[in-house]
Structure 1
Amino acid sequence: MSADTWLEELGVSGLGGRRLGEVEEPAFSRLAERHRRELHVHCYRMLGSFEDAEDTVQETFLRAWRRRETFEGRSTFRAWLYRIATNACLDLLARCRPEPATGGEALWLQPYPDRLLDELPASNTDQPETFAFARETIELAYLVAVQHLAPRPRAVMILRDVLGWPAKDVAELLGDSVNSVNSALQRARAGMREHLPAERQDWTGGEQDARTRELVRRYTDASVATDVPALASMLRDDVRCSMPPTPGLHVGRETVVNDWVESGFAGMKGLRAVLTSVNHQPAVAFYLWQEPEGAYLPLTIDVLRVTGGAITEIVTFHDDQFPLLGLPERLPLDGTE
């Protein structure tokens, strides 16, 4: 639906700063709210943090309301919001994260629950390649790689490669020339190649088919039993494990298994697990029995990347992410929730 149609529905005919400036705040809010989830996902790709994306969307709506007179109707209202959101992300990065991520991990990384990703507008199923890429660019491996890019090339790549904006529109947003945008895009793509395998099937988990679901079930059972040898048999040789915001990237099956043993995981008792899905990837939420509470309480969430029938990456999040993911606060002894 075009911006003209939406404005007509709100009782404001025609475009241009003067006409949009006449829209009352409740009507303007309804118009902007239609785009909240997709703007949030856009900011999340830029920032890697769910909470920062939430704050940035709120800032976007505030800026849009304050600057509504500047909307001239040369683009859709949706595109105008994306421009404001992108600049709000760049401002936050300049203020809070002057340097991009390094060392293959982003300590500010947070998960994105699939139940909220389901709120995104329906994709064009007539273009399966575009639909698949949109799914893949919300997966954690892609997001971590993006965080290693400098902010402006990052913005260029997301706008060009993920959203499909023409180079001239990106140049206008950033106040650059088309040549500068094209150059930034090439630098961004080169940077991504440094942090992602060359073949897409090696860094994306793809659809969660029956084979993947069975592997996740086995991983869950072995984790609850703290059966380290069984878990090790499911890992690819070059598996990667991290636990943001705790520093430390472990690469390779032997390194990962040694970390599990040294951390005391091998002897842990009293675990239960709940299956979920995060960033379009299978995930397992673990709970640990706490005798004083008489219940299993949140422990960690493992988000898995499965490639070719083996686990190639485990990103573990702390218990503070359970509420965001809509997971139970506790599991009682009898197994009911």
Structure 2
Amino acid sequence: MPPEEEKDQEFVQLLTSHQTPLRAFVISLVPGSPDVEDILQDTNVVLWEKRESFELGTNFRAWAFVIARNVTMAVLRKNKRNAAPMLDEQVIHAVSESWHQREQVNDPLKRHALDLCLAALRPADREIVQARYQTGTSLTKHAVAKGRSAESLRTALYRIRAKLRKCVDQRVKMAGGDA
């Protein structure tokens, strides 16, 4: 296989493996927007077009998130006339920075602790978390599928996240560096 094809193949693997975090990032920038999938698709197109400027072995996630933020900002400027409330540029920058910091704290100890805490959840709670963060299903769709209200799932998810945060903090603290 020619080197260019190998490079493209590796790029496609990086791109596909980052779809879930990219979608979550875009959702955090335009919560409740019907444009999320369009923004993600536009981001993927730009990533593909700029693939030659990406240096394999560097931080793909950080590079992709910057592009996703720029695409999101362009869509917001284009749709500025819409009556739907959107986040302003300062808020988007703050959210983007928060994601960047989350990337920097990508601590294997915390990741391991989170895996253990997720495994300890009740199956129903774990299903809510998986539906929201792994499959990318909206809470509204999941609520309909489960015969519950979206608000009850939001409340449950809020409590589950608080429980997970506490569990992870306790495991990390108890481990003293070894969860």
Change (3 A) 1:22 1:52: same
Per the alignment, in what secondary structure is the counterpart of residue 15 of structure 2? Answer: helix
1:270-285 aligned at under 5 Å gives the runs 277=128, 279=132, 284-285=143-144
Q: Which runs of 5+ in 1 are unaligned?
A: 1-9, 13-18, 103-146, 167-208, 214-275, 288-297, 308-337
C-alpha change, 1:306 and 1:93, in structure 2 (3 Å) is same
1:156 aligns with 2:156: no
Inter-partner Cα distance in structure 2 for 1:11 and 1:78? 26
Report percent identity of matched pairs.
Answer: 21
Matches within 5 A, 1:176-325: 277=128, 279=132, 284-285=143-144, 301-304=149-152, 305-306=154-155
Q: Distance in 2 between matches of 1:39 and 1:286?
A: 25
Q: What are structure 2's unaligned runs of at least 5 residues?
A: 104-120, 134-138, 157-179
Amino acid at match of 1:60: T
Deviation at 1:302, TM superposition (A): 3.1
Residue of structure 2 equivalent to 1:61: 44
SS where residue 97 of structure 1 aligns? coil
CA contact (8 A) 2:43 2:68 kept: yes
Distance 1:279 1:303, change over 3 A: farther
**Conserved 8 A contact 2:143-2:150:** yes
The amino acid that maps onto 1:57 is L
In structure 1, distance between residues paired with 2:82 and 2:21: 26
Q: Which has the higher contact order (CA 8 A, sep 6+)?
A: 2
Higher helix share: 2
Aligned position for 1:86: 69
Q: What letter matches 2:20 in structure 1?
A: R
Q: Does 1:40 align with 2:23?
A: yes
**Residue 144 of structure 2 aligns to a residue in which SS?**
strand
C-alpha spacing 1:73/1:36, structure 2 compared with 1 (3 Å) = same
1:306, distance to aligned residue in structure 2 (A): 4.0
Contact residue 286 and residue 301 of structure 1 kept, 8 A: no
The one-letter code sitting in structure 2 at the alignment partner of 1:38 is P
User: For 2:25 and 2:67, how far apart are their aligned partners in 1?
Assistant: 12
Higher strand share: 1
CA deviations on 1:12-46 (whole Å, 9 max, x unpaired) are: 6xxxxxx8x9723x442222111000000000111
Distance 1:42 1:11, change over 3 A: farther
**Aligned partner of residue 52 in structure 2, secondary structure:** helix
Structure 1 residues 286 and 30 mapped into 2: Cα distance closer, same or farther (>3 Å)?
A: closer
Which amino acid in 2 is paired with 1:82? F
In structure 2, what is the Cα distance between the partners aligned to 1:71 and 1:39?
A: 17
